[in-house]
Amino acid sequence: MHMDRSERNYVLFTAALMIVFALALAIGGVANGIKLPAPELIVDPRTVATPGVSPFGDPVEERVREIAPGKYEAYILAEAWKFSPGSTGQGQPPLTFPVGSTVTFYVTSKDIQHGFKLENTNLSFMVLPGQVSKLTATFDKPGTYNFVCYEFCGSAHHIMYGELVVEDTNAASR
């Protein structure tokens, strides 16, 4: 089969590019430890916040729970335009953990697509109605971290943010 030289070059270039992309994925996943959030659970966005149906229906103060010493679960419900808990600007309690805690976040939306991005960390994931996003992180530095919705979700998207406080327990007991 005759193949024009420039066409062959394009085919070779494309094949080489795919190898480069595959390597970049492998390096990103293995060497840099990038974890993709998997949909943990499929839920019905219309009922997910109903008490008794899922942890997202629990009283907002009880959605952050210690499951073992230093290990926490946080169930955060996103909606236009707040995170519950977390959105202190809209009357929600902040997410509070002692320093050194390992936290597994479970986040879902009860209306439209939102995002969850914790400032100054690599913690970032999309929040979709109907599925629960899950990601685990450890907080070694005390301080207040803000998190924002990074998917445009309507007229008040810019006020959709929350606060995560990592408390310095050593300083408190001194």
Q: Which residues lie near Cu ion (CB under 5 A)?
A: 114, 149, 153, 160
Residue 128 DSSP symbol? -
Q: Point out which residues pair with 146 in neighbouring strands.
A: 163
Least CB distance to Cu ion at residue 110 (A): 12
β-strand partners of 46: none
Do residues 124 and 149 make contact, with C-beta atoms less than 8 angstroms apart?
no
Give the residue with the Cβ less far from Cu ion, 71 or 157: 157
What is the C-alpha separation between 48 and 123, in angstroms, rounded?
24
Q: Are 124 and 114 in contact (CB under 8 A)?
A: no
Smallest distance, Å, CB 88 to Cu ion? Answer: 16
- The least CB distance from residue 160 to Cu ion, in Å, is 4
Tokens matching residue 41: 């659970």
For the bound state, the minimum distance from the C-beta of residue 153 to Cu ion, rounded and expressed in Å, comes to 3
- Identify the sign of the CA torsion 37, 29, 161, 172: positive
Between 49 and 102, CB nearer to Cu ion? 49
Residue 54 or 87: the one with the smaller Cβ distance to Cu ion is: 87
Tell me whether residue 103 or residue 160 sits nearer to Cu ion (CB atom): 160
